[in-house]
Each structure stands twice: as C-alpha cells, then as structure tokens.
Structure 1
Amino acid sequence: MLSRASSGLSALFQEAKRAQNHLHHELPYRDYDPIERVFENTHSRGFGFKLSVLGGANDDLIQSLSHLIGDLPQGEKWDYQVQLFGHNRVAHYLEGNKAQLSQRGGICQKMANDDAIYAHYAAQHGFLHRQKNNRFDLRDHDAFFFVSTCEKDPQELLDARLTLETGLAQLGFDLLPVTPEMLLTSVGDILNFDKRQDRPKEKSYNPLEPLNQQALSPDTEALTYRGHIATRHTNDQGKEVQTEIVNMGLSRLPGDYRLYALPEAFSSIRNVSRNITCPYRVTLNFRNEPTGKQNADNDNKIKDLNKTVNSQMALLAPTAEDELKERKGIQKGLLSKEFTIASMVLTVTLFTDKDNQKKDTQAAKESFSNAGLDIIPLKMNQPQSLLSTLPFMMSEGLWQDCKKAGRVRTLKSSNLVNFLPLIMDFCQLKGGVLLPTMRQQISFFNPFTCGSDNQNIALTGGSGAGKSFFVQEMAEVIYAMGGKVWILDKGSSYKKLTLSLGGTYMTHANIFLNPFTHLGSIQNAEFEFVDDDGHAIDPMLEALDNITALFATIASPYAPLTAFQQSVLGDAIVTAWERKGNQAIVDDVRDALIEIAGIDSDRRIKDIAVQLKKFCSDGMYKEVFNKPSMLDPKVEITTLELDGFPPAVLRPVIFALMVSINQQMYLSGSRSTPKLCIIEEAWSLLSGANEQAREFINTGYRTARKFGGAFCTVTQGIEDFFSSEEAKACYNNSDIHIILRQGEGFDKYLSQNPSAFSPYEQRIIKSFDKSSTAGYSCARIKAGGHVTYHRFFASPVKRAMFSTEPKEFEYCENLYKQGMALEDAIEQTSMHFYGKEIEAFNQAIGASS
C-alpha cells in the first residue's frame, strides 16, 4: 500500500518537473522601447500604426500608395503587414448614442433605451427583417500597419517609420502609434478571440515582464485540425470561450483588380446575400524585392525570350512573344520607378464556432468570389497560416515557411496595393439616427454633424420606401438630442409622434402667421450670432429682409417685383413696424405703400398695395396673416397641419411659416442648438414657377443657416425637385441629398438626366426593395462630399408608432378620440396590427439576454 502511494507521488513529481510548453512561448514579442517606440522581438525589431479605415478609393490613391510602397526599404530583411479586423464590438457607440438621446428623460429616454436594446441584439444576432437567408448586423473595422526588420542598424528602422508615417498622413489616414497595450490586444484578438465581447477592451501591460507572456490567457489551448484550429480559453469574466478559426488564402491571382472593389468582397451591395457572416481578419504580408536583382533577372529573361522569338523555337513557344512584350513593360516600369516588384501572402481568417463553421466558410468563399477573388481554406496548413497573421512573425523565419508552402505571390507594387485591406464604407460615429451602411458598418446620421456645407436636406422616396418612418425617426432624434423641430405636414402623419413627445399640434383653424408678432422679442433678445466667417449677424435686419421677401411673394405670386418695387416695399414694412411694433398687420403695410405712392399715385407702388388687399383685415384671408402668430418659441416640437387651407392661400402660408420659423430659430437661442423644419409633401406645396418665390426660398434657407437651423424638404420622387422653381431652389440649397426607393418616375428622370448618377449608382438605387417586403428601408445619402448607402431598421413597436397606413391610423385615432391616453392607444394599435411580430421580437430579445 505504502509502495503504491510512494510510486504515485514520484510520478506526480516527475510530471510536475516536465517542461510544459505553452502557446505564448512561440510568440517572439519580448520588450518595448518607449523612447524609440520600437518593439524588440526574438530576432527582429518593429513598430506599428493603427490606421483609420478610408471610406473609398480611386486611381489617384492607388497610384500614390504604389509610390509609397516603392519608397519603403527592400530586401529579405524587411517585412510589412497590413490588417483589417471586422468585428461586432460596437456597444460603446450604442451606449454613447443612447446617452445623447436620453437627455430629455421621459418618453425620449424610454425610446432610446428600447432602441439600444434592439441594436445590441442586432450587433450579435442580426436585425429582424423579412428576407430569408440574409444576415444584417452591426460591425466596426480596425486597420493596422506593421513593419519589422532584421537589419542591425536601428536608424534604418526609424527612417522607415518616418517615410511611412509622412506618406500615410499625406494620403488622408489618421495614424496612432501601436503601444504595448495595443499589440497585446491585437494578438489576443486573434488567438484568444471572444465572440461574446461586445466592445473593445485594451489589455494591460507590465513593463517588468516579457510581452509574449502577457498576450494570452494562461489556460489557452489550441487544437489543430485539417481545415481549422479550435481554441479554448477563459476570458476576463471567468467564462470559458471556444472558437474555431478558419484560415483561407488565394487560390490564384485575379487578372485585373482594383482597391475600391475590395470592400465588395467583405459584404456586397450589389448582391445582399453575399457577405462574410462572422467576425474576420484580412492580413496582407508583403516584401519589396530588390530592384537591382529584379532588373538583372528580368534583363536575362528578355535576352532568352529574344533568342526564342527570333528563332524557329517560336513555333514551339507561341506565348513567348506576349511574355517578351510584358517583360519589356516591366523593364520600362522598373527603370522609370513607376513600380517595384513585390511578393505577398494574403490570409483571410474567420472567427466562428462549431455550429456555424461550414456555413461561415462557404459564405466567405462566395462573398470573395462574387467580388472577383477566389479563396479556399488552407487545408493541412492552418497553424502556419494563423501564425502569419500575427505582427512581426514573418521576420522570425515564417516567410520562408510560407514560400515553401507555395503561398507567396510575386507581382508589381502597383498591383499589390489593390490588395491592401484599408478601404471600407465611410461612416459617421458621432450619434444620431442609427443607420448602418449596406455593408453593415455601424454609422449614425445627424444632419448637424455630418460635415456638410449646410444642414439642409432634400429627401425623396416613393410609395413604400419607408419615407415617413425615416423622417419621423430623424425628427424624434433631433428633438431627443435637445434640438427644436417644426413640421409642416399634410395628412396628419406626424400627429402621434408630436403628441407623444409632448409637442404642439396645430391645424388650419389655429394657425395664424402675422410676421410682426415676434419682432419685438427679436429686437430685445441678447443672443449673439455670427456667420461662418465670424461676422456678427443683425437679427432684425435678417427678419425684415425675410418679411420683405414674404410680402413680395404674396403680393406678386406670378411675376417678380422690380428692384424699385422691392425697395419701396421694404420701406413700407419698416414704416409699419416703427408705427405699430408687433401690433402691425398687413393693413399697415398697405397704408404705408399708399402714402409712399403719394399724390402722384405711382402705379408701380399702388399695384403692390392693391394686390395685398385680400390679405388685409377686410380681405378673404384676413385672419391668417393678421391675427398674432401662435407659434411659441418655447415649444420644442411643433407640427402644423396644412390640410384645410384653400389651395389659393396654401403657398403664401408655406412662405409665411418659413419666415415665422426662421424667427423661432433665432429666438430658440444658441446657434449650437439643432433646429430643423421639415416640409412634408413638398411637391404639392411648392408648385409655382415664380423666380421671386425661388429667391425667397434662397433667402429663407440662408437665414436658417445663420441661426443654426436647417430645412428638410420631402418629395415622392427626385423628379419632383425639378418640376418647379421653388422645389429646385430647395434642392439646390440643400447640401444633403437623401434618396430612398424611387417610383416609376425615376426612369423618366434618368432618361432626361443621364449623367445624374453613374450606371453603378443607378443599379443600386433601382435595387432598393419596398420596406414592407424587405422589412427595412434603403437610402443613398450624399453629404459632405461622401456618397454612402444605408439600411434603416425599426422595431415592430416603432413601426406601429410611425405607421401612416390608413387602417392603422384610423384605429389609433378612434381610440384616442374615445378618451384613451395616446401612449395606450398606440400600444393597443401595435398589438392589434403587429401582435405576432412584437411577440416574436420580444422572445428573440429576451432569449439573447
């Protein structure tokens, strides 16, 4: 008994003394020099940059990148690596946006919280929609550029960093030097990937310990299989994480490829079913081959080919002449330094799990194939492929291993740059309407932070485009973020939203628009505004100019006034204001005009007075323009329902509202407060052809901008923006153009304006599905010099709240008229029409949490 116990104890001691290998022993990272910002590895030294991901590329960028690559050191002692990491770690953006949208508390906070819960779910599991077999989630992308060398002279590495840093910065990249914490995090994100991690987490760094011992979880395990590597570790929350890593590589080089097509390989806009369905990392390792050696080798090839082509051997080598022509092109390019010769290894790494490995691998293969790149799983070569994705590993001897495995491809530097994974969709991350791009990059839309020259919006969408949902969401978000919103509606589409948010809903029976009502407040206000050039703005002058333009438009709706008439009209308005102050009415302007006409009865002036008669206190439209304005500057969201106004007075009402709202924008205070006026169904409201009306809109839009405000005009089709001078003025004064699904008129517009959109853009816009069919809306947004394509998703509860379907609207309206609280009426309507969807939605959200 004692003997057996002694034997077992001895075996235990022997096992304890045995050298146990750990994966971190294979990592070369040792130390970091904080002064030179260089990493010391087992056989190499290196540095890295975290780069911003560019939102597009063109041939000029490709050429500039090629020249930059050509300027980097050459030879087998220098290795370069570019990585793009696509992941679902976006919780920090979602929570930041929720905080912004919760400023007002109350229902805004509840809506922000509900939206955030749905977005968190969508990031990990995808949005709920009506298209089978398509996954749309939320992603973000991180890019890195690493350089390593075995060169002994430390100055050469510093010189290379200066060359790279300067060149990338000049090309528009934002750079951040890689720190030890960032390197450890990057390595951990590969070998200790955690799919449940919902936000970036930077590892800590202890300068007293070797870097390689800090990179991984102590219990990390990696099991190699023929087509993947299974890893297991315990995360920082004490939970076990199992991941299957699949490494894929090019089966062949494509014949022709461009950098700006690369994002299509990750997630296709043209074919929504083609996209990578799991987190991924694309790694490009490359070397610059010595130009001198390449020149010599190429010259020898040319000599041999010349002999072949000029001999009878040409009959046996029919492609020799083509190769000779290509070799001479290479000779010319190398001598002129148009390009260099480079070698590369491309690896696509998928982070998946046992249940989804085959599906995710096939999806990645089809997605890349759809973009013109053929990739295959690297069978029996998974460990080497995985190690090649780690920073600095190629300089530790792995390049030669990849060469023996046949993974190294040789090509021109001008072709190499087309594989640099540095391009994705342009995105905005400052908060607003959650509007992921069609490649699922997380992005938000806020007209006041999107970088456009002005914040005015021209939005168009046909029937079934989800236009009402989109605009209501934008209005709610601007309001929730502390902004002010005015909505000129026709059809009660915004009634539920306005009343739910505690706003004011006005109909034609209580819309009065005397433009003098708030002039006293403007004159006495102490707000200071400056324009974009820093010059002080005189609000009274702006207000009087607007009123003059309004009176000119309503007095002469079909022909513009002369410069003389405009000047006299302005004098009359000032006279009316000086005499009566904010009690002035249209009659006072008319009387001032008659006085100015004098005994000579100047017909030019008298005509204006006569034309104002129907808007005076004894005219047919006496109440609209003479009763004090009911717009309250203290109300944060106001909807003005225009149904009920006679068609003849509708356009003057619109213009008077623009004047009044511009005044409200000033009285709302700071220019930094977002202020948005939405004009719905603008195609039916702005239908005149008056040059004077066009100039009035120009003036109104400019004034709004000076006070930190913006107008959003909404039409059913893009052709509506070119059907009248007023509508065209709205479009031309808007730096933000939003196009949702278009109707039949789009083809006619394209035939008349063939250069308005490229064939590629036309194809995408025409592919936008009906929101009722797809379960989401699609949008093309042009703002701040960028064109992006987006999807807008709404939960079933919000779809019910924003719905303008006649049956749903009538059902909710009847409940409200019967005395039910609006919030309860909306909830009951939701359950009546969307009960099954809401139940399924709540079950999905609950199951995920």
Structure 2
Amino acid sequence: MGLAVKNLQAIFERGRIADYLSVYHYVKDGIYALRDGWGFCIECEPMPFAGTNTAKAIESLLTAPRHSDDWYLNIFLYASPYIDELMDEYLKRKEQGKTNINDEVILELFKQRRKYYEEHTKKSFFDEFDFRVRDFKLFISVIIPYKNKKQTATEIDVKIELEDAIKAKNAYFGVLKSEGLAPRIVSPERYIAIMKEILNQEKPTINNYNPHKEIKEQIIYPSTKIKIKENGDLLINGNPLRVFSVKTYPNVINLFQFGEIIGSYIDNMKQIPTTFALAMNVKLVDPVKSKEKFQMKSNFITQQADGNPVAKYIPTLHIRYQNYQLAMKYFEEDGKVLTPTQLTFWVIGDDEHHLEYLAQFVRNHWSQHKFEIAKENDDTSFTVFLSTLPMQMDSYYDKFLHRFEPIFCHNTSNLAPVFGDYKGNGYPLLTFISRRGQIMSFDPFVSDGNYNIAVAAESGKGKSFFTNELITSVLGEGGKVFVIDVGRSYEKLCEQLGGEFIEFDEKKNIVINPFTNIKTNENGEIDSSEFELLVPFIGNMCGMNLMASTEEKDPTKRVLASFIEQACREAFRQKQHDTTINDIYEILQKHPDNRAKDIAQALYPFSIHGRYGKWLNGRDNFQYQKDFVVLELDSLEQKEDLKSLILMLMMFRISQDIFFDFKRRKMFIIDEAWQLLRDNISSAFIEKGFRRFRKHNASAMTVTQTINDYFTNETTKALFNNAEWKIFLGQKNEAIEQAKEEKKLVMHEYFFDLLKTVDTVKGRYSEIMIIGSKGIGIGRLLVDRFTYYLYTTDANDKMKIAQIQNELGCSLSEAIKILVEREHGAKSGTLLEK
C-alpha cells in the first residue's frame, strides 16, 4: 500500500472524510460557497432518447460567454436504488382514496406492490437475467473560482462575484428548461440528502439542513466506514465499489449512441442492474489562450513532420500531424472551442465476487462502443470517485488527478451523460418499470390535451392485466370507473371488488331517456351546451353524422341540426324532464318543411311505435349505485343494431353522470371497441362526447386488438384522433408496417422499430409503449402474486381463494395473502389467528 493511500486511510480512520468534501455553506438564490469558488447545482430529468438537439444545448453551455475562466462543469448521472420518494406518493394517494366498494382489497394490492418493488431494488425480479428497479437522477453543477481570494477583497467585490454567479445559474437554468430537462435548483436539504445516500450507501431518514454548520460536516455519518483496498476498490459500509476512467475515446460518436453506454435499449442481457454513476467533468477555459497553446503544439508537430526526412517512416508522428491539422480546422474554420474533459464511471456490486463480474461486463460493454476504460488504482480511486460528485471537482482535484483530456466542444457535448429512460408524466397513478430499470409513473389525467387513451393489444399480450391495473388505480384514488364490454372479461374483478355488474338483454325493462337528466339553464330551458352531444345522438338514430347547428359547417346539415334543436326545445318547454324521443318524432312529423318530416320518418323506429321505442320512451330508470360499474353486452352479440343503440345510450347516460361530478376522477372504458364501434355510431357523437370529457375530469379509454382497428371507419378514427395517449402492447410486425406505410401512426422511424420489440413474457411481464405529446417510453408491468391472484381469470386460482374464504371465514385480501404465503412455503399462523 502506497504512502498516499496510508495517509488517506489515516484520515478515514479519524472520521475526517468530510475534509475531502468541497461544499461549505449555502449563500442564497441557489448559490453555495465552496472551498475554491462559488457553486450551484441543478437537478434535471434524464432525457429519453437524447440526440442532436440535446447535444447542441449542452454545447451552448460549454461555449457560452463567461465573466471569468477555469470554471468546472460537472454532469452526474446516478442510478439510485432508492425509489421511496415516488412510492411514498404512490401509496399516500391510494390511502386517501375512498369509494363505496371494497377499498380494503384495493389498498392491500398497492401495499403489496410497493413491497414488491422495494424488495427488488437490491435483487433481481427474475433468475434468467438480472433486472432490478431504480431511479435515475441527473445533476448538473458548476464551480466558478473566486476572483478575490486575498483578504483585501472588499464586500463590494464579493457582492459582484455573487451576482455574477447568480446570473450564470439563471442562464444555465434557462438553457436546460428550454431543452425539456425539467430543471429545479438543488436546495441544501436536497444536496445533503443525495450526498448522504452516496457516501453512506443508505437512504437518509432525516434531511435537515443546519445553516450554522458547514454542509460538508452534515453528510458523513459517524458510523460510516470507507476503506480503500489494495486493488483500488472502495468499500463503503461494506458495499464494494470500483472506479473506471476513460483512457481512449472512439473516433466518432453521437449522444444517442452514447446513451446505450448505461444499458441497451432492447437487450435484457446488456444491462448494468446495480447502483452506478456516470460523470463528466469539463474545465471551461479561456478559448483564446487555449487556441494559442494548441497552435504552438501544432506548429511543433508540423515542423517535426515537414522538416524531418524520416517522418514518413514514423506512422505515429504522421497520425499526430493529421490530427493537429484537423484540430486547427475546427479552430479556424468551424470556430470550435477546446474543452478539457474527464469521463468517469463507477459501479457498486452486491459483493466482491459480483463486482468482478460487473467490472468485466462494463469493460466489454464500453469496448463494444469503442471506448477503452481502466480501473483506478489504490492511490487515486477515492479521489477520482469524489471528483465525480456534484460540486466537487475544483482546482485542487484538478492538480492532483491530471485526468482532463483535450476534446473539442462538439465532441464533449456528445459525451454528456444527460440520458435516461422515460420516467412518465407526473404523479404515479400507475407504475411501470423501464427496460433499464427506471421506475415509471403514468397518469393520463396529467396532460395539456385531453385525458383519453387509445389502446391496441394483440390477444395474449397483457391487455386484461393492464386494464385491470388502470381500473384498480383509479378506484384506489377515489375515482369512478365505468366499463362497457362484450365477453364478460371484467365480471370476476367486478364481483371481487364489490362493484356493480349490469347485463343487458331484450327482456329487461330498462329506459334510458336523455331528457330526464339533461342540464338546464336559469330559464328552465335546455342548456345550449347539451346540444353538443344531443344533436349527434339524435342524428345518429336517423343515420346522419350531425353536429350542433352552431358547429356544423355543411349548410345542409346545419339546417337539419337546427330542426332537431327546435323540436327538442319545443318539446322540453311543454314536458320538461318528461320529454321523450317520441315527442321529438311527433313535432318533426307535423313540421311544414319536408326535410323535417324526413327526419321524423328516420326517427320512427325509436318512437313508441317502433321496435326500439321501449328503450327510450318513458322516465329514465337506469340506475347504478357503485363507483365501479361493468355494463355487459354479451347477450346482444348477434343483434348488431340493438347493441349499437344500447352502447350509444350508455355513453350518453354515463356522460351525463360524469358531467355532474367534477371533483372525482372518472374513467370510461370501452373494451373490444373494434367490435362495438362500427359505422352504426356517428363519429360526430364520439368526437363531441370524448372532447367534453376533459372539462369534467374524465378520461375515456378504448381497447382494440391492433393499431389498424382504429382506422376501419370514421367512428374508430375519431376515437384514435381524440386520444391524447396512445398505448400499444404487443403488435404484429405486419400491423406496425401497415400503420407506418399508410401514415396511420406518425413518429420517427426508430420508434417503429422499437415498437416491434414490445413483447410480453408470459409469467414475467407485459411491455407497454406509451406515446404522449411530450414523450415516448416503454414500461414493463410486473405484478406481485397478490395482484396476480386478484386479476387472474383462471378458474382453478379463483377456486383456491374461495376455498380459503369458506374454510376460514376471512376477507378476500386475507385469503389472497394466505394463498401467497402458502405458495412461498411461509407460515400463515398470524393470519390464521385472525
């Protein structure tokens, strides 16, 4: 062990690890006072599929004018095993949700999910390949050296420096925000928390900041032990860590390609499943001085190559000459700036044997991307490790380490570790896990557009589990869910959750009258907004695709729409909420204009004299009480016209209920939509109904088997076009190619290729591609055994649960927990006592 290591080890043993940390105090406005300068730190969201635009934004940070030189920029990407921040929010929202169904089993489901995820931050979900859940965090920090280090510096001097640092912070923040990296200034509490997590290798329970104590003294726990092994590995509280530095860079690389350095976008076997970090330090030097210094070296090399007759026999000299000539071109013609860069990677293993395995994989993986990396030795590993952390790299580390490599700014920007997987869009209504282990949250109600969803899922690709997950998630947060289905797919779930299962057939005396619950204005007349849906509704009965007269662009259709509106208003003035479709029929029949009489004739089947009249005429008596309602149309399978009518009536009736309850979230689901929504229902009715949902905190989701099912007619196109969210589970390659060639789905070529890889591994997970206006991501739905037994439709599994309930007289959630414990061979004595 060298002298330097012995000295370092002596410091650790005295508990003075804090002496190696640089952050002293928080000043104000996001600025910190450091050992060697002013600093600021900005936390960002890693950019999925970062590419050319992101690289240009980073390059603009590297080349932006500065009020001084020799700044240090650090970009730190960290794969954290701690997901409790998101899972705390996830469970908190579920605990607060209240419905009138079986809240107990729903809450237990989400408690089990949290436990399942947290168990697999430290171990793999599967035996076949190592797959764990974590959270990628990105920090971008800058150190600006003090100009006035002498005691003679005045208060005014310091104030000017501080104001300059604040301006620099604001400029960086603006660039990062414009690029969509969602920046937020790191508070001292947040900085202490992340540094505690890394340097103690455990999640801190308290993240207080004491302004009267140096920040560097608030990070290391007294019990923390860091040891440097003779091979250069670190042991942080027993967790083995190895540090690598890049020695050789590829000739050409772009940011998108470099994004795969932290794991393949596709290949399960090319992943780094444990905690790791990738950090880039850049020294922002004076571009003029840098160019002059480089020019001197270039002149020397040129002189050697041109003036030396044996130079042509020395290949390395000729290569250096060519490189310097190219570099001078970057300087002279392209105006590029030289940016000394340090790229470092470190990884933590489960144990020392596992670390060796990871280290070999990391070397091979980087080598495949044309990088050569080398393990840091015992004299430097700890110092290099510290230099990777936010607001740590400064002139002291620089002088000791000599790790900076001169790289031009356009290349450096393509090495910036600002990438990661799609994290989702907001609060965790649902959670998935990306292919590289990123915990994802998805909430369709967080959107600048509407909240609607279009789902395409081939048979056997996980559609039922995904839909069940959405149902329980909305209910779990106190929402309401309505499902229209053919095939009884949700009967068991509805029964288990204590919902309401309503089956339609011709024998039932159900009346759905749109006028019974219609909204009125202060004069007691039909509110004008109601015609947005009422006109398409009645128009559809007449076989016409109509919109309200104020919105209808076709002059002929506008007249027809006005006839319907006039008849509705007249009938409602006479009978108020007792108005029926038959009243509209009679008023139009007596109208002097033949066009109105034609509408009446088309409405005849829905009058009291027609075959469908019994469903529409009379006081509305369709009632449901529960917050989870399944409307089953299976018995109408062979009656297409009646099925379409009932579906439209249900949509209209539910839409009325949705609009009267703004506070609660509502989810309206139409499964097997490709069968139900054929030409029998007008696209205008769908379009207006679905557009209104957002105004009333409601989301409509339709489910088909393939993307192309959404383009069979104008109605299904309206469903697709009025959905902010497109969600695809496994699709056949032919269906994807057809959608691409016919421009049914428009996105970058790469994402079509990625969509072809979306798959379901039976008994393991279902993959889901989520496409929204602000991002695309692929997540995996992994469910614990509790969730599996709640969602499964397997008759044998359901029988096992029922037997336990009958034997022990326990609740559904207790029965499932007992079944899971029996499955795992655990004792269930505690539960049995209950």
State the AA in 1 paired with 2:600: A
Alignment pair present for 1:34 and 2:42: no
Superposition map of 1:428-827 within 5 A: 428-449=425-446, 451-509=447-505, 510=508, 512=510, 514-519=512-517, 522-523=519-520, 540-556=527-543, 562-596=557-591, 598=592, 602-632=593-623, 635-645=626-636, 646-667=639-660, 669-670=661-662, 672-688=663-679, 693-743=682-732, 745-750=734-739, 752-753=741-742, 756-772=746-762, 775-804=764-793, 807=795
Alignment pair present for 1:221 and 2:225: yes
More deviation, 626-635/251-260: 626-635
Q: Could you say which residue in structure 2 is the equivalent of 1:100?
A: 93
Residues 119 and 30 of structure 1: CA distance in aligned 2, closer, same or farther (over 3 Å): closer
d(CA) in 2 for partners of 1:830 and 1:607? 63
Q: Which residue does 2:550 correspond to in 1?
A: none
Contact 2:284 2:339 in 1 (8 A): yes
Contact 1:149–1:157 (Cα < 8 Å) also in 2: no
In the TM superposition, residue 182 of structure 1 has moved relative to its aligned partner by: 4.5
Deviation of the 1:364 alpha carbon: 4.0
Give the 3-state SS of the residue equivalent to 1:562 in structure 2.
helix
Residue matched to 2:388: 389
SS at match of 1:756: coil
Secondary structure (helix, strand or coil) at the match of 2:420 reads coil
Residues 394 and 801 from structure 1, CA distance in 2 versus in 1: closer, same or farther, beyond 3 angstroms? closer
Q: RMSD of the TM alignment (CA)?
A: 3.9
TM-score using structure 1 length? 0.82
Instruction: Tell me by how many angstroms 1:732 deviates.
Output: 0.6
C-alpha deviation, 1:781, in angstroms? 0.9
1:68 aligns with 2:61: yes
Tell me if the contact between 2:263 and 2:436 (Cα under 8 Å) persists in the aligned partners: yes
Deviation at 1:780, TM superposition (A): 1.0
| 1:59 correspondence with 2:67 | no
- Asked if the contact 1:84–1:282 (Cα under 8 Å) also holds between the matched residues in 2, the reply is yes
Q: 1:823 to 1:496 in 2, by over 3 A?
A: farther
Which whole-Å CA distance do the structure 2 matches of 1:826 and 1:30 have between them?
50
Q: Secondary structure at the match of 1:255?
A: coil
Q: Which amino acid aligns with 2:222?
A: P
Q: How much has 1:429 moved relative to structure 2?
A: 4.2
Shift of 1:379: 3.8
> 1:25 deviation in Å?
6.1
* Equivalence for 2:287: 291
Q: Label 1:621 to 1:76 Cα distance change in 2 as closer, same or farther (>3 A).
A: closer
- Unaligned 5+ residue runs, structure 2? 1-10, 150-157, 548-555
Establish whether residue 117 from structure 1 lines up as the match of residue 151 from structure 2: no
Q: Does 1:85 align with 2:72?
A: no
Structure 1 gaps of 5+ residues are: 1-17, 233-240, 528-537
8 A Cα contact 2:451 2:694, kept in partner: yes
Q: Which residue pairs with 1:532 in the alignment?
A: none
- In structure 2, the partner of 1:4 is none
How many angstroms apart in 2 are the aligned matches of 1:305 and 1:730?
A: 67
The CA deviation at 1:724 is 1.3
- Residue 570 of structure 1 deviates from its aligned partner by 2.4
1:345-392, CA deviations, whole angstroms, 9 ceiling, x for partnerless residues?
222222334253223434544555566655443244423322323455
TM-aligned CA deviation for residue 47 of structure 1: 1.3
| Contact 2:586–2:600, Cα closer than 8 Å, also in 1 | yes
Letter in 2 for 1:84: L
Q: Match of 1:133, SS?
A: coil
SS of residue matched to 2:56: helix
5 Å matches for 1:340-419? 340-354=337-351, 356-365=354-363, 368=366, 373-380=371-378, 381-391=380-390, 393-403=392-402, 407-419=403-415
Distance apart, 1:588 and its partner CA: 1.6
Residue of structure 2 equivalent to 1:12: none
- Kindly indicate whether residue 52 of structure 2 is the aligned counterpart of residue 50 of structure 1: no
Determine the C-alpha separation between the residues in 2 that align with 1:641 and 1:300.
82
Structure 1: how far apart are the matches of 2:414 and 2:205? Answer: 29
User: Does structure 2 retain, via aligned residues, the 8 Å contact 1:74–1:287?
Assistant: no
1:151-205: CA deviation from partner (whole Å, max 9, x where unpaired)? 43654565245224313323315555555545544443333222xx3x7742543
Tell whether the 8 Å contact from 1:250 to 1:375 is kept in structure 2 after alignment: yes
Greater Cα offset, 635-644 or 423-432: 423-432
> How far did residue 497 of structure 1 move?
2.4
Retained in 2: the 8 A contact 1:433–1:473? Answer: yes
Cα deviations by residue, 1:222-262 (Å, 9 ceiling, x for unpaired): 32224444445xxxxxxxx4222211222421222233444
One-letter code aligned to 1:65: I
Q: How far is the alpha carbon of 1:465 from its aligned partner?
A: 1.3
- Which residue is 2:552 aligned to? none
Deviation of residue 66 (structure 1)?
0.9
Q: Is the 8 A contact 1:74 1:289 kept in 2?
A: no
| Structure-2 residue corresponding to 1:270 | 266
- Secondary structure of the residue aligned to 1:491 is coil
Q: Is the 8 A contact 1:542 1:703 kept in 2?
A: no
Residue pairs, 1:126-165, within 5 angstroms: 126=121, 132-149=128-145, 151-152=147-148, 154=158, 155-156=160-161, 158-165=163-170
Map 1:146-225; keep pairs closer than 5 Å.
146-149=142-145, 151-152=147-148, 154=158, 155-156=160-161, 158-172=163-177, 173-178=181-186, 180-194=188-202, 197=203, 201-205=206-210, 207=212, 209-225=213-229
Structure 1 residues 367 and 628: alpha-carbon distance in aligned structure 2, compared to 1, 3 A threshold? farther
The separation in 2 between residues aligned to 1:631 and 1:608, in whole angstroms, is 27
Distance 1:542 1:822 in 2: 52
What SS class does the counterpart of residue 519 from structure 1 fall into?
A: coil
The C-alpha deviation readout for 1:728-765, integer Å capped at 9, x for no partner, is 11001111111111136524524633773434223322
C-alpha contact 1:101 1:108 (8 A) present in aligned 2: no
Tell me, yes or no, if structure 1 residue 254 matches structure 2 residue 250: yes
**Cα deviation per residue 1:649-683 (whole Å; 9 max; x = unaligned)?**
2223222222212211112x22x422221111011
Q: Name the CA shift for 1:539/1:305 in 2 (closer, same or farther; >3 Å).
A: farther
Shift of 1:141: 1.7
Question: What is aligned with 1:8?
Answer: none
**What secondary structure, in the 3-state scheme, does the structure 2 residue paired with 1:271 have?**
coil
Name the stretch that deviates more: 731-740 or 643-652: 643-652
Post-superposition shift, 1:571? Answer: 1.9
Distance 2:623 2:109 in 1: 31
